[in-house]
């Protein structure tokens, strides 16, 4: 069943983040995420940096799988340490979909964002990302996911 999403456009500020990166087959992402987010939280605590908001995951299609950045926004850039590295989320225009129910099933939201862009003469300007208010760490399988997709004119 296709969800009906309320979509909204926003102009985002760029923000620093701390992430763990991997290139994975889609089927392995869900089992990889909890450990990756634990490693980021541990490194943030070691550096005395507080996460700002819920965890996020950014997805980038690659030839041999899906590039995944999993982590947290931070108030200041961190020092790279092992597989936990400084990164950031871009500023600029983005369309946002709120997905309620199963965070692991956001593919319909991704399609709704893409449809919104194309119907208005835009195209994606980078990889999409998701914030979980209840997701891989809490383990409930239900919750809310905000899905962001940056865009530009075609």
Q: Read off the pLDDT of each residue in 119-148 and give the average, rounded to a whole number.
A: 78
Q: Enter the pTM of the model.
A: 0.86
Q: Read off the pLDDT of each residue in 129-153 and give the average, rounded to a whole number.
A: 75
Q: In angstroms, rounded to a whole number, what is the distance separating the alpha carbons of residues 88 and 103? A: 22
Using DSSP, state whether 23 is helix, strand or coil: strand
Using DSSP, state whether 116 is helix, strand or coil: helix
Q: Read off the pLDDT of each residue in 128-140 and give the average, rounded to a whole number.
A: 68
Q: What is the pLDDT of residues 39-78, one digit of tens each?
A: 999 999 999 999 999 999 999 999 999 999 999 999 999 9
Domains of the chain: 7-153 (3.20.80.10)
């Amino acid at each position: 069943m296709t969800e009906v999403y309320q979509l909204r456009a926003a102009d985002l500020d760029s923000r620093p983040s701390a992430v763990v990166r991997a290139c994975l087959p889609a089927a392995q992402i869900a089992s990889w995420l909890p450990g990756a987010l634990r490693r980021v939280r541990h490194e943030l605590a070691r550096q005395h940096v507080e996460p700002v908001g819920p965890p996020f995951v950014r997805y980038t299609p690659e030839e041999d799988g899906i590039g995944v950045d999993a982590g947290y926004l931070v108030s200041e850039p961190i020092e790279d340490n092992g597989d936990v590295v400084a990164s950031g989320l871009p500023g600029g225009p983005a369309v946002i979909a709120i997905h309620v129910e199963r965070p692991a099933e956001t593919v319909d939201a991704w399609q709704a964002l893409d449809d919104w862009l194309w119907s208005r003469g835009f195209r994606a300007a980078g990889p999409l990302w998701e914030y979980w208010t209840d997701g891989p760490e809490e383990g409930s399988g239900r919750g809310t996911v905000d899905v962001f997709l940056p865009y530009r004119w075609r």
